[in-house]
Structure 1
Amino acid sequence: MTVAESEATLVQRRTVGVLVASQALGGIGVFTGITVATLLAEDILGDASFAGMTQTAQLVGAAVVAFLLSQVMAIRGRRVGLALGYGLGALGAGLCIVGGAVGSFAVLLLGTFALGSAVATNSQARYAATDLASPRRRARALSVVVWATTIGAVVGPNLVGPAGDVAEAVGLPALTGPFLFSLVGLFAGAGVLWTWLRPDPLLTARRLADGSGGGPSPRVSLRRVWSVVRTRPRAMAAMAAIAVSHSVMLTVMVMTPIHMSHGGADLEVIGFVISVHIVGMFAFSPLIGWLADLLGPSVVLAAGALVLLLAVALAGSAPAGHSAVLAVGLFLLGLGWSCGVVAASSLLVDAVPLIERPGVQGVADLLQGVCAAIAASLGGVVLASWGYSALNGMAGVLAVVVLGSAVVARARA
């Protein structure tokens, strides 16, 4: 092992540990507040007609900030970019508290938009785990960081009740309490990154790289990214797979509680099904990363597309209310998403030169957010007009696109 390889191994081990800790804290910050955003909007407005706009604002915020953070990271490295992202998310949580306290829907929307920055950071962190990872271990490194999100996804929603008590104790509306916890979690995550993500993995990778990976950082722009990926079909396939896998998952997941409530399912049962879905999304990601390194990311991506197709077939056949078929379908929906995102993200890293990765990764998450926002909006229309089965049919068509991306990536390997 050379001196450069030894240094890369040591910094990589530290990097993954810091990212896992920050993801856990940041995940609590993200999931605690987002859980009640629509409820707080409904409370402010007096009805639920426009409450869903908080979800749209968060998705758009995540998409926009992902691109902006990529510009920061291309120049200043992962530490500055990721810490800034969580800091902006904490500011968003603070705005949500203010919006709830004064009864302003506009301030709440601005807050959820800024809170999307934390979602973008949570997503971008997975790429930081690959900067110094060896090519044969990239998917595993990435998947461990994805797995760490499980902590926030499980713990966050369970803090809603205690957070409401804390808010009332200090004279704030109960529904602003979760955002207090979000603010603390996101500031803590930013602090962990700022203090301990040293040396910076991206800057270290550039310093250790040979001539093909070093050099000054290019300015990140959509035109620049297009010039990079248009001659790399595997990169284009990976970006498409990331965006469409996420769109399939989000479209069905967001509308499932409505479908269940129409059949008389109570909140506890709905919460259980969504929890099963979250387990599928995150709990098995280390295994998926190991398989992607062993078999190749295109193989796991194809498997993920097939799992998504099976998931929407099961979910679409389930009656309104609760059923074991629906629970299994939602679990597989999460598992298929995990296969798609882990494998496609690893594929994207492999397909793009080191110096261009931050920009391409930022645009990939920008596309992911935009496509998810569009799909979620269309999903509501499809559900209202044609029903839950048609919604899953639309998601199935999108899953075929993921399968096509895997075929392209395999053919161009």
Structure 2
Amino acid sequence: MTTAFPAPRITDADLPALQRRISAVLVVGQILGGLGVAIGIALAPVLAAEVSGSEAVSGLAPTASVAGTALLSLPLATLMASRGRRPGLVLGYLVGAAGASLVVAATVTGSFPLLLLGMAGFGAGSSANLQARFAAADLAPPDRRARAISTVIWATTIGSVLGPNVAAPAGRVFRGTPVPEAAGPFAWAAAIFLLTGLLVAVFLRPDPLLTARALAPQSTGAEHRSLRAGIAAVRASPMARLALVTVAVCHTAMVSVMVMTPVHLGHHGADIQLIGLVISGHIAGMYAFSPVMGRLADRFGRLSVIGLAAGLLCCATVLAGTSGGGHGRTAAGLFVLGLGWSAGLVAGSALLTDSVPQPARAAVQGLSDLTMNTSAGVGGAVAGLIVSGLGYGWLNAAAACLLLPMAALALRRAVSRPPVASEKE
């Protein structure tokens, strides 16, 4: 599909009120969508072990979800590029709901392949949640773009914190029914995704991307919105390349360390409650402070906050990698790891939006999410091999090494031209 729906006439005077309303819709959608993702993912490994009869393959369920998030990023972005944000986000949540329903059906029938297929579809909910941050930036003025993105990211905190805590009660509702208790959270997740899709379909009007295009002076022909045009736009902009590297590296370093931290803590005598507290602190670092990162990126520039992200992530790997059996030091490292990820994602996403022409933005943003999720999936898989062969400390050292290309590119861009000019090329 290449014909976009027309956007209504919007004047500059209408923009502030429209941006506030769109932001409010996206925030509510992120709370619901984040709850749907978290309520399902919390019990995914348990459900996989129950269906397959083997704990050895329990990690394949979240892996399938991550793969689905990555693979579905481009189709959703392609739809957004041609039809607007609203159809793409709605489709993402509908596919997520269908995936969650397949997970329930797989549990009832005892089919592990169907379970993995359902988890891949479930990942579309995560993909929609990620791409919603770019919808917040469509109509935001450049000097407030990072704050608009960070507000949507912050809203994920609520769902991410509530989800694991309500997963067990959500499952107990299905006692005495054909739906196993462990699959109950996915039934709730399907309903939540459907509700989120309905919210976006009804209230995300006028479409922010189509409205931004109507206000932009550039050509908006379909030939400028394809994936090929998005790749060309990234190649043509050194700042866009830096932004793409920043988002991918920060996400990969964070996921690689995070997924193996529970294993590390367990090896040093931590119980499930303590592990949960450490991960909760990490999630708080990821999302709760994103508005601070947005303000810093708008006030001091994207490059400054990318440098901050590199510094925070390096500190996190040092803290966690040298923690040994010190649970407090590991917890501090994971919290700082979340802060570094937040700084990198907010500043990188804003810089990416700044650095490419309006018609190509949706395609470039989808390419960014594909890159970050694919690299993180590979990083998570390799992380297990590193920990099993060399140890948790070496994993953190490897994560720190990943940051070197990002830091080198950011330094090169900062030195080559003044920050303000370079960030808006």
Answer whether TM exceeds 0.5 for this pair.
yes
Does 1:197 pair with 2:201? no
Number of matched pairs? 409
Contact 2:73/2:370 (<8 A) preserved = yes
Structure 2: gaps spanning 5 or more residues: 1-9
Q: How far off its partner does 1:35 sit?
A: 1.1
RMSD of aligned Cα (Å): 1.4
Alpha-carbon separation, structure 1, partners of 2:124 and 2:28 = 18
Does 1:380 pair with 2:364? no
Contact 2:225/2:362 (<8 A) preserved = no
Contact 1:41/1:51 (<8 A) preserved = yes
Alpha-carbon separation, structure 2, partners of 1:275 and 1:217 = 44
1:235 partner letter: A
Structure 1: gaps spanning 5 or more residues: none
Q: Which of 104, 109, 117 is equivalent to 2:124?
A: 117
Q: Which of 394, 403, 410 is equivalent to 2:407?
A: 403
Q: How far off its partner does 1:407 sit?
A: 2.1
Alpha-carbon separation, structure 2, partners of 1:317 and 1:36 = 30
Does 1:85 pair with 2:92? yes
Q: How far off its partner does 1:280 sit?
A: 0.1
Alpha-carbon separation, structure 1, partners of 2:219 and 2:144 = 19
Q: Which residue of 2 aligns with 1:249?
A: 254
- Taking a change above 3 Å as real, the CA distance of residues 145 and 409 of structure 1, as seen in their structure-2 partners, is farther
Q: Which residue of 2 aligns with 1:307?
A: 312
Does 1:354 pair with 2:355? no
Q: How far off its partner does 1:214 sit?
A: 3.6
Contact 1:238/1:409 (<8 A) preserved = no
SS at match of 1:145: helix
Q: Give deviations 1:9-47, integer Å, cap 9, x for gaps.
A: 222111100000000000000011011111111111222
1:143 partner letter: S
1:159 partner letter: V
- Taking a change above 3 Å as real, the CA distance of residues 158 and 257 of structure 1, as seen in their structure-2 partners, is same
Q: Which residue of 2 aligns with 1:128?
A: 135
Report the TM-score, using the length of structure 1 for normalisation.
0.96
Q: How far off its partner does 1:56 sit?
A: 1.7
Alpha-carbon separation, structure 1, partners of 2:413 and 2:110 = 50
Contact 1:382/1:391 (<8 A) preserved = yes
SS at match of 1:234: helix
Q: Which of 229, 234, 238 is equivalent to 1:229?
A: 234
Aligned-pair identity (%): 44
Q: Give deviations 1:292-325, integer Å, cap 9, x for gaps.
A: 00000110011011000000100001124x5211
Alpha-carbon separation, structure 2, partners of 1:409 and 1:157 = 41
The within-5 A match list for 1:211-230 is 212=218, 214-216=220-222, 218-221=224-227, 223-230=228-235
SS at match of 2:143: coil
SS at match of 1:311: helix
- Taking a change above 3 Å as real, the CA distance of residues 58 and 145 of structure 1, as seen in their structure-2 partners, is same
Q: Give deviations 1:380-410, integer Å, cap 9, x for gaps.
A: 0001000000110111101223322422443
1:132 partner letter: L
Q: How far off its partner does 1:184 sit?
A: 1.5
Q: Which of 274, 284, 291 is equivalent to 2:289?
A: 284
- Taking a change above 3 Å as real, the CA distance of residues 82 and 409 of structure 1, as seen in their structure-2 partners, is farther
Q: Which residue of 1 aligns with 2:342?
A: 338
Q: Which of 240, 264, 267 is equivalent to 1:259?
A: 264
